Chain A
Amino acid sequence: MEAKDRLKIPRQKMPEQSAEKRIQNFGEVPLGYTPEQAQKEAARCLQCKKPTCIAGCPVEVDIPGFIKLIEEGDFIAAARKLKETNSLPAVCGRVCPQEEQCEKTCILSKKFDPCAIGNLERFAADYEREQGDVAIPEIADSTGKKVAVVGSGPAGLTVAGDLIKMGHEVTVFELLHKAGGVLVYGIPEFRLPKMIVQSEVDYLSSLGVKIKTSWPIGTIQTVDDLFQEGYDAVFLGTGAGLPNFMGIPGENLNGIYSANEYLTRSNLMKAYAFPEADTPILSGKKVAVLGGGNTAMDAVRTSLRLGAENAIIVYRRSRAEMPAREGEIHHAEQEGVKFHFLTTPIRFSGNRDGWVTQMECLKMKLGEPDKSGRRRPIPIDGSNFTMEVDTVVVAIGNSSHPLVPQTTPGLELNKWGNIVADPETGQTSRKGVFAGGDIVTGGATVILAAGAGKKAARAIDAYLKTL
């Protein structure tokens, strides 16, 4: 096909559940491409000689390569091409902010809609899984070296997948009862079905990765114990820890959740299915979610599915500064979420039994840009007003996970308690100890954690060769 014909094809929209229907269930919102749609979209890729999209991908996927295979109809080969560099394509195809990465650097995006790289990645990975034709890639001869991976989120799973293929023995330690980290406790079913995470984890198991759940490194075994037991290197991908709160009066009233708790109840513990599942969750009618990130969008959309009549986002800056993906904001708007921008809560008050009933807020205006480059919100004196609420979810970020840093002597931390690690290698202040993901960067994205895992795997492999 000529380039000018390719340019004539419009970007293929992925079908999705209607907003009215989907807020009644926890099923996935986008439904996936048909093979015809995928091939049509794949034909939009210009197959650049010097592709600019790959530079936008933290895990360096051969993007034109896998897209070409889709265009040719060899979907299985496309999936395998993806897996050469990305251990989690079905996950990344769903939750990566492609508009900030590969699709942003796609040459088409200068004049047209970029090629739907994320949708195509998702299609190929889903196709392979649904066909049940998941191949085991070539695994290098055993090196006899053992690596312990602490945490089974996107960073840990990526490290494990890469190192096992290099011939090292890998054991992943997860302190929760299910592997997947934030992919299972944080991201809701309607955005990332847990079955998909499970099949990515199963895939790693099939490559020989050992996964030990309910195993809290830091207490049952320390990092030093792991070395003593014969591990040659340790990767720390322990992720986000205790939630941040606003630090304002009334924050411990009943009905006020952290996003971590709210989402963990609904996702990991399946509280949306209460009482079939044992863990309960409050199904508030007037729900306010504080924050403007993807986690806030996940929480507010969860509240709608749990039966909220009035679900609002309260964010201290304006829409333009929201860190959430545009697509998530759009989905939330479609579903009826209301947004209160330039608003910040200053106090919660409750009834006699200690349940939150009201939230007092201040209006804000935007001042000069701060260190993050976003305009700083400034409170407007006397702009106080109150909002009726029965459930509040605080989604303003996390601090680092405390268990490993508290119990690993000699591990250098920054002032926020994050592990100090070389951004190119993940090397920490301890010999043989590498780290990556949210425990290093603070709250970031799945793909940045996976990218850190990829770099760390390379560095760990190099380190093991020196032993």
Chain B
Amino acid sequence: MNEIVKKEKLAPQINLIEVNVPEIVNKARPGQFVILRIHEEGERIPMSIADLEPKTGVLTIVFQEVGKSTVQLGRFKAGDTLCDVVGPLGRPTHIERYGKCVCVGGGIGIAPIHPIARALKEAGNQVISIIGARSKELLIMEKEMKKTSDELLICTDDGSYGFHGFVTQPLSRLLKDGTKVDFCMVIGPVPMMKTACMVTHPYGVKTMVSLNPIMVDGTGMCGVCRVTVAGKTKFACVDGPDFDGHQVDFDELSRRLSMYVKQEKISLERYLSLTGKS
């Protein structure tokens, strides 16, 4: 249990791991998340589910190395074991036959949107996916997204691949051109989710976002993951992580995500000085 059976570097600082957690995989559904710890003094790290393989009991996680814990996890290899993994947590994404759906994924947000796009397609929807990254080398899971989408649009901020610009631009174009979109799912950096919701709002397209606030227990106890949705406090770990994007206070979310920037820097620098840079 909790063994890493495969590890792959998808892009600079972006890794994929496959973890053997059959009981979680049996019950987990797209849109849910897990929390893992990598050692006894480790923090509880919430991770989106990028894929589930019920036959083998393998859970796929894609993560970016940003702080001490993810940098350390980036050094794990196939055969290593995680200290603990708990899940599935949060409510699954609501899947139904909407008609035409647009799945927008930015950066490592492409990973959790992947099983959602697939579930939407399996439910009989037409799925248009728009995925983007800063540059071609940072774009992940293109092949997988192609498989689960009827149409795939690719964007890069620097124009090194696909459309030159942000994912929100083709989304806006699509709606302007009169495409009737019945449902939109957006996962990515907070500013991107915020902009995407501003784009879909005038068209009245139901738009769900998956939020990633700071969590500690992640099971409905500590209350750190509170977000304001339609003026009310909600807890992403048990009320979410999916929320109506037109109602979310994204500015508050951004602010709350920055709460430990100073400490995160101290922790990473200390780790790198103790262990070396690579």
Contacts and interface: CB of A to CB of B under 8 A. Distances in A.
Contacts of A257: 224
> Which secondary structure dominates where chain A touches chain B?
loop
A176 B216 CA distance: 10
Interface stretch (B9-17, B52-60, B79-87, B105-113): B79-87
B267 interface: yes
B88 A219 contact: yes
A260 B226 contact: no
Given A185-B217, A270-B41, A403-B238, A278 B68 contact: yes
A269 B44 contact: yes
Interface string B234-264: 0100100000000000001001101110011
Contacts of A260: 221-223
A243 B23 contact: no
A261 interface: yes
A275 B87 contact: no
B64 interface: no
A214 interface: yes
Contact of B221 (A214, A220, A242, A277): A242
Interface in B17-75: 23-24, 27, 32, 37, 41-44, 68-69
Interface string A221-260: 1000000000000000000111101000001101101101
A274 B264 CA distance: 10
A279 B41 CA distance: 8
Nearest to B224: A261
Interface string A264-295: 11001110011111111010000000000000
A219 B87 contact: yes
A203 interface: no
B24 A243 contact: no
A213 B217 CA distance: 13
A252 B256 CA distance: 8
The residue in A216, A268, A353 that gathers the most chain B C-beta atoms within 10 A of its C-beta is A216
A215 B43 contact: no
A279 B224 contact: no
B27 A252 contact: no
Given A242-B221, A260-B223, A269-B43, A252 B228 contact: yes
Main secondary structure of the interface of B (DSSP, over half): mixed
Nearest to B263: A280
Contact of B216 (A261, A270, A273): A261
A220 B263 contact: no
B69 A216 contact: no
A220 B235 contact: no
The listed residue with most B CB atoms (<10 A of its CB), out of A255, A265, A402, A406, is A402
Given A280-B263, A280-B267, A242 B235 contact: yes
Contacts of A243: 222-223
Contact of B84 (A214, A242, A276, A282): A214
B235 A274 contact: no
Nearest to B41: A277
A25 B239 CA distance: 38
B31 to A, nearest CB: 13
A177 interface: yes
A175 interface: yes
Interface in B130-171: none
B116 interface: no
Interface of A: 175-177, 185, 213-216, 219-221, 240-243, 245, 251-252, 254-255, 257-258, 260-261, 264-265, 268-270, 273-280, 282, 353-354, 401-403, 406
Given A261-B216, A280-B267, 6 more contacts: A220-B27, A254-B256, A261-B223, A264-B221, A275-B68, A401-B221
14 contacts: A175-B86, A175-B217, A219-B27, A240-B221, A242-B223, A245-B223, A245-B226, A252-B256, A261-B216, A265-B216, A277-B43, A278-B41, A353-B258, A401-B221
